[in-house]
A and B are shown apart, each in its own frame.
Chain A
Amino acid sequence: DTGVSQNPRHKITKRGQNVTFRCDPISEHNRLYWYRQTLGQGPEFLTYFQNEAQLEKSRLLSDRFSAERPKGSFSTLEIQRTEQGDSAMYLCASRPSGTSQETQYFGPGTRLLVL
């Protein structure tokens, strides 16, 4: 399967714990995006990378959130001191750098539940 993969698919944690999610984009896709989706809403942009450079962060990304893409391939999203409001589906997408007309391909997401 050469699509975008995300791990884990589900994560249950207690409030205050740290969690880390991983995204493996389609190989050779330079751009990698993270989104968050809560129930009944569309995905909301969190941040994106061009290769290893993080080029934009949404105001939704509080200082408890950090994302990396160290070698320009896979990316990790870490949430420190989780809160119940962090419960959501975290989606990763990738695309070639090209123009803004390029299609983003989404992974299956990681569903986080904070108890």
Chain B
Amino acid sequence: AQSVSQHNHHVILSEAASLELGCNYSYGGTVNLFWYVQYPGQHLQLLLKYFSGDPLVKGIKGFEAEFIKSKFSFNLRKPSVQWSDTAEYFCAVNDRTGKLIFGQGTTLQVKP
């Protein structure tokens, strides 16, 4: 069965610090990988997604993620975080039906 693991449950950073959130998945076949973000009081929104091709994908708001097949990883990065990046971040993989399997989520708190 597919599963997704996010290593960091709660991350606290100061503004301008660099961010890297870990995500590992287990799935033997072709994967589609996603990062979703949930800002306080808002619904889940797509940050970025990977299907194939260039393993470094760029998303909205300066986020990027790198797919490393050999490590079954899809880590999220941002060079310089802002207070407005405070949110909960979810990594997910989907199966052939399209349903999403999410990790536990990482709460990011950015101090101004």
Output the nearest chain B residue to A48 by Cβ-Cβ distance.
Answer: B99
Q: Is B56 part of the contact surface with A, judged by Cβ < 8 Å?
A: no
CA of A105 to CA of B51, assembled, Å: 17
**Interface contact B43-A42, CB-CB below 8 Å:** no
Instruction: Name the interface residues of A60-115: CB closer than 8 Å to any CB of B.
Output: 91, 93, 95, 100-109
**Interface contact A109-B43, CB-CB below 8 Å:** yes
Q: Is B67 part of the contact surface with A, judged by Cβ < 8 Å?
A: no
Instruction: Name the interface residues of A24-57: CB closer than 8 Å to any CB of B.
Output: 31, 33, 35, 40-45, 48, 55-56
CA of A3 to CA of B96, assembled, Å: 24
Q: Is B25 part of the contact surface with A, judged by Cβ < 8 Å?
A: no
CA of A91 to CA of B9, assembled, Å: 21
Size of chain A's interface in residues, with CB distance under 8 A?
Answer: 27
- Tally of contacts, chain A with chain B, CB under 8 A: 63
Q: How far is the CB of A79 from chain B (nearest CB, A)?
A: 20
Q: Is B100 part of the contact surface with A, judged by Cβ < 8 Å?
A: yes
Q: How far is the CB of B48 from chain A (nearest CB, A)?
A: 10
10 contacts between A and B (CB under 8 A): A33-B98, A40-B9, A40-B104, A42-B4, A43-B100, A45-B101, A55-B97, A100-B97, A101-B51, A104-B100
* Among candidates B4, B92, B98, residue contacting A100 with C-beta atoms closer than 8 Å: B98
Residues on B facing A (Cβ under 8 Å): 4, 9, 32, 34, 36, 42-46, 49, 51, 90, 92, 94-105
Output the nearest chain B residue to A109 by Cβ-Cβ distance.
Answer: B43
Output the nearest chain B residue to A92 by Cβ-Cβ distance.
Answer: B43
**Interface contact A100-B43, CB-CB below 8 Å:** no
**Interface contact A42-B92, CB-CB below 8 Å:** yes
**Interface contact B44-A106, CB-CB below 8 Å:** yes
Highest count of chain A CB atoms <10 Å: which of B99, B101, B102, B105: B99
**Interface contact A103-B104, CB-CB below 8 Å:** no
Q: How far is the CB of A14 from chain B (nearest CB, A)?
A: 27
